[in-house]
Amino acid sequence: MAAERDTSQAQRFLREAIELAFANVARGGRPFGAVVVRDGEVVATGVNEVVATLDPTAHAELLALREAGRRLGTPDLRGCTVYASGHPCPMCLAAMRLSGVGAVFYAYSNEDGAPHGLSTAAIYADLARPFAQQSMTIAHSPVRLDGRPDLYETWRRQQEEREGRAG
């Protein structure tokens, strides 16, 4: 029964993501919508605004995650599920993982999008290769500032101080 309810819930929220995507297409946007859900309730939605904002990161999933963080008052989105109209790109999937999202469901696959120039399968394939073999140069260049403490150590100490004050 729980699996049936979960399937029904997934279908409902995927339909909502697709409706958002259709509305975005009608406004001249790209065909992507996303819904963030926690405990069966919609926390946030987003549509792809890359064309409208000229921001290459304004993907539906990222905008929905940002709004969910604002509404929940935390960047920790554990317990949330994302429902997306299309297969999330690597950037969006990484953001979901970094924020703690526990599951993602999508309606249209990369295979569905490929004939329309909407697949990110090639990016996934490139990212699976070692850095030296990827199409983008990725290089570690260790630089430190003279007279400055270690950046990460400074951050860690400040976190400990904040936690000490909060506790």
Which candidate, 110, 129, 131, places its Cα nearest to that of 121?
110
What's the angle, vertex CA 32, arms to CA 94 and CA 58, rounded to 5?
55
Q: How far apart are CA 152 and CA 39, in angstroms?
A: 36
Active site residue 61: yes
Catalytic pick among 61, 111, 153, 161: 61
As to burial, measured by CB atoms within 10 angstroms (0-12 exposed, 13-18 middle, 19+ buried), residue 50 is middle
Among residues 116, 109, 107, 70, the alpha carbon closest in space to that of 85 is found at 107
Question: How are beta strands 80-86 and 41-47 bridged, if at all?
Answer: unpaired
Residues labelled catalytic? 61
